[in-house]
Each structure stands twice: as structure tokens, then as C-alpha cells.
Amino acid sequence: MPEPAPDRPTPNLPRRTARPDRAAPNAFGLGGAAVGEHYDAVRPSYPAEAVDWVLAGMPGGESDRGRDVVETGAGTGLFTRLLAACPAERVRTVTAVEPSSPMRAVLEREVVAGSGGRVRAVPGTGEATGLPAAGADVVVAAQAWHWMDPRAASTEAARVLRPGGRLAAVWNQLDVTVPWVHRLTRIMHAGDVHAVHPERRRFAVPFGTEEHAAWSWQDTTTPAGLHALMASRASWLRADEQVRARMTANLAWYLHEHLGHGADERIALPYVTVAWRAARP
């Protein structure tokens, strides 16, 4: 299996906002009640360095209170878990905002229940959190900012943040600079193939200069795991049975006949985690 190349360019993020289907079983049209369980089981977590970067340089520390963090589009809590694992002097509270009840149910069970009151989950969106003004030090969206209207979500983040607070966005992306992964994303309709434009703005006014960072890493999976990962994507969940059957057949051919992987073979899957941050004036 190819190893990630050093110093390679970072895949970019979608150029257009993905529009939620408000009439679907949950806010983003991602299937029924079981979608939260499936998403949580197959999607990877994030590098610890990404959490450190989101929080770096903000108020908090040994002689100060920890940060109050709001996570918008928290999903099942993959990033929330990492925030909750931070010591209290770094992260005092986490408010996880998630519009999908199936996603939020997993978040409440897996993260909120064991947090000792430091984490709470509330319904809402990045554009309308329902939270009080000036109550957070950090607003972060992990794998979610592209679902939001950037202008409305930036305005809401600025309202929720204290002066000098920070807005951040984090994504995991399959590393399409690796040729076999690039073709994999095409077969999976994964949407990870984007031009390199780290200088392009992610946030809107009143946020100013944005900083960008990226981390390369590998997950380990199997052919069955890749099929399950494909089935967690919006493209699959919104497809009809004919399209799903074609995607399944194409992925099976690619993994077993073209790449020669065995049914239970462990596969190193390269990822890039990308992040942006900006301060509230």
C-alpha cells in the first residue's frame, strides 16, 4: 500500500455549501434513526494536534479558568470526545449543538452521560444555536462547516463568542494526493477531491485574517470497513438502490480485483486533517 508522500499539498474543502434537506428524517437528510449509530461506528476521530491547535493561545491555564467551548454540528460527538478529554483547566465546559436527533442521541449517550456535567448537548444549528450571547471562548465545527451558510454561521458565532474569542473549523479528508485513494474517492462519491486553496476564506465578517493548518495520518481498515465508510456518506444515503448497487460493485472490483486485497486484509488509509481559525474582533 502506498505511503503518504511528505510535504504534499493539502486537499481543499468544498467550494459550495452543502444544503441540508429540512424535510428529511433528520436535518441533513442522512437517513433514519440508525444513521447516528452507523456514522459513529465507521467515521474516524481526529488527531490530538488538531484539538491543541484549535485551543492554542486562548484564555485558560493553570491560573485561569478553562475555556467554554461551543461545538456546532457536533454530530455523534467524535470531536466532542476529544474536547471532553481535555483537563478542566483547558476546557471548562462544552456545549454541543446538533440538529439531528439520531446523531444527538449517540452524543448524549456516549459523551454527555459520562462527562460529569462538563458537556451538554442541545438542538440547534450553526446559524441559530439558541445559546446566550458572549458566553463562549471558542466556537468550533468539525466535519460540519460546509453544511452551514458561512455568513449566517459566522454572524451567529460572533454573537455567541466573547470579545477576542475564536471561530475554528476542522475536517478529516481522505488524502487524494495518493493516487489509489484519489480513485477510491471517485468510486465512493466521497467528495474529497478539491483544489488546493488554503488562502480562500472559510468564514465571513466580522472575522478577519484566517490561519490554516494540516496534519497527515493513517487510519487502518478492511474492505468491509471501506464499504461501511461509503455507506456513511451523504451521497450513498441519498442514492436509490440502483446507484447503491453500482457503487458497491465498483468498490468491490476496485479493492479485490484491481488492488488485490483479501477479504479480511488490513488496509492503511491515508487521511489529511485540515483546519482554519480566526479571532472575533
For the chain, list the domains and their CATH numbers: 35-172+195-216+273-279 (3.40.50.150)
Contact 59, 132 (CB under 8 A): no
- Strand 267-279 relative to strand 211-221, pairing: antiparallel
Q: Which three cell numbers stand for residue 210?
A: 484566517
Separation between Cα atoms, residue 164 and residue 182, nearest integer Å: 39
Separation between Cα atoms, residue 262 and residue 245, nearest integer Å: 21
DSSP string covering 41-88:
HHS----HHHHHHHHTTSS-BTTBPPEEEEEES-TTSHHHHHHHTS-T
Q: Which three cell numbers stand for residue 3?
A: 505511503
N-to-C CA span, the chain: 46
Contact 230, 236 (CB under 8 A): yes
Q: Quick one: which of 97, 87, 49 has its CA closest to 65?
A: 87
Per-residue pLDDT, 201: 85
Per-residue pLDDT, 237: 85
Q: In terms of pLDDT, which residue wins out, 195 or 86? A: 86
Separation between Cα atoms, residue 203 and residue 187, nearest integer Å: 31
Q: Classify residue 239 as exposed, middle or buried by CB count within 10 Å of its CB (0-12, 13-18, 19+).
A: middle
Flag whether pLDDT at 24 surpasses 80.
no
Per-residue pLDDT, 207: 97
161-174 β-sheet, strand order: 119-122, 91-97, 67-72, 136-142, 161-174, 267-279, 211-221
* Amino acid letter, residue 224: A
pLDDT digits (tens, 9 = 90+) for 158-194: 999 999 999 999 999 999 999 999 999 999 998 776 5
Per-residue pLDDT, 191: 74
pLDDT digits (tens, 9 = 90+) for 236-276: 888 899 999 999 999 999 999 999 999 999 999 999 999 99
Q: Which three cell numbers stand for residue 243?
A: 446507484
Q: What is the mean pLDDT of residues 202-228?
A: 95
Q: Which three cell numbers stand for residue 83?
A: 474536547
| Sign of the torsion formed by the C-alpha atoms of 151, 123, 20 and 269 | positive
Per-residue pLDDT, 199: 66
The pLDDT > 90 percentage for the chain reads 75
Confidence bin at 139 (pLDDT 50/70/90): very high
Q: What is the mean pLDDT of residues 17-36?
A: 48
Per-residue pLDDT, 215: 94
Q: Which three cell numbers stand for residue 178?
A: 495518493
Q: What is the mean pLDDT of residues 13-26?
A: 36
Per-residue pLDDT, 200: 76
Q: Which three cell numbers stand for residue 251?
A: 468498490
Q: Between vectors from CA 96 to CA 94 and to CA 98, what angle results, nearest 5°? A: 175
| Sign of the torsion formed by the C-alpha atoms of 114, 217, 186 and 222 | negative
pLDDT digits (tens, 9 = 90+) for 56-114: 987 654 446 899 999 999 999 999 999 999 999 999 999 999 999 999 999 999 999 99
DSSP secondary structure code for residue 148 in this structure: S
Contact 51, 86 (CB under 8 A): yes
Task: Count Cα neighbours of 86 within 13 Å in the Cβ-side half-sphere.
Answer: 28
- Highest mean pLDDT: which of 58-67, 146-155, 199-208? 146-155
